[in-house]
Amino acid sequence: MMRRAAVLAPLILAWPMASPGQDPPAPKPVVPVAVIDAPKFVTAGNRLVLLQTGTISKIPAQWTIVYPKGTPAEREGKALIVKEVVPGISYRFALTAVGDPNPETPGFPFIATDYVDVPILPTPQPPKPVDPVNPVDPVPVPAPVPPGPIGNMRAVVLYESSANMTANQYNAMFSTVGIRPYLKAKTLKDSDGGNGYRVWDKDVDVSNESSEWQDAMAKAKADPKPLPKIVLFSGMTPVDSRTVVDETDAMTWLRSKGGN
């Protein structure tokens, strides 16, 4: 399938002006833009030959490759040859003519360009041999989802104090009746007997924290979810995370991970 488009850019270099008391000169004729013949191309293996089948308004034209940029191509007479094409993409070429189609009435030079898209079809693959014992591929069975809540759950809740949180995000992060009491009840206490969760600014200095929380902080900061967010751990292994949108969404997600 080929798509073609034409662009005409007339450049008027001179226009005769009438002297005072004289009749204005008759306008020069409008230059008609001839429709170029449909470009022809030939493919042989990985070789593509694009043939010029005409000119634009009787002006000699020349092929150039527009896409993919930088594709090596050679000229042989009026043909443009691409020796190595890539199956599965479409090459775009431009046929451009620059000149004056009416030399007897100079002053109307123009640039005309016609485009053609040449799709290179993917190389057909041979059919897969049929297994005479099992003629139909078995349907893949998805991996089982571990039942129940996250074991030994811990959490790091991160935010950016200099960022503009929405009112819903702020209320969810700092409310005393939502995320914090839930995590206090559901997370495993740390090695010092303290809460199994932390709520930190992402730039807080944790060098005075125990090694387990320093490690958890590094892993939470490496999580790609946008701030503010909750990062859940099973022991010391991150297992899931979620950006805090509002308290309802955060609590629904937490209960799906840690139980009611």
The pTM of this model reads 0.45
Q: Are 134 and 189 in contact (CB under 8 A)?
A: no
CATH top-level class of 6-12+34-119:
mainly beta
pLDDT at residue 244 tops 90: yes
Residue 84's pLDDT band (cuts 50, 70, 90): confident
CA distances in angstroms from 230 to 58, 157, 241, 246, listed in the order given: 70, 4, 5, 12
Q: Nearest CA to 39 among 4, 64, 6, 12? A: 4
d(Cα 54, Cα 65) in Å, to the nearest integer? 18
**Start-end of CATH 3.40.30 domains in the chain:** 153-258
Tokens of 31: 């230059």
Using the structure block, give the residue that is written with the tokens 């009749």: 23
Q: What whole-number distance in Å separates Cα of residue 12 and Cα of residue 14?
A: 6
The 8-class DSSP code of residue 140 comes to P
CATH 2.60.40 positions along the chain are 6-12+34-119
Amino acid at 14: A
| CATH fold group of domain 153-258 | Glutaredoxin (3.40.30)
Tokens of 148: 């129940």
Q: Which residues pair with 47 in a beta bridge?
A: 44
Confidence of residue 200 (pLDDT cuts 50, 70, 90): very high
Q: Are strands 229-234 and 40-44 parallel, antiparallel or unpaired?
A: unpaired
Mean pLDDT, the chain, whole residue set: 74
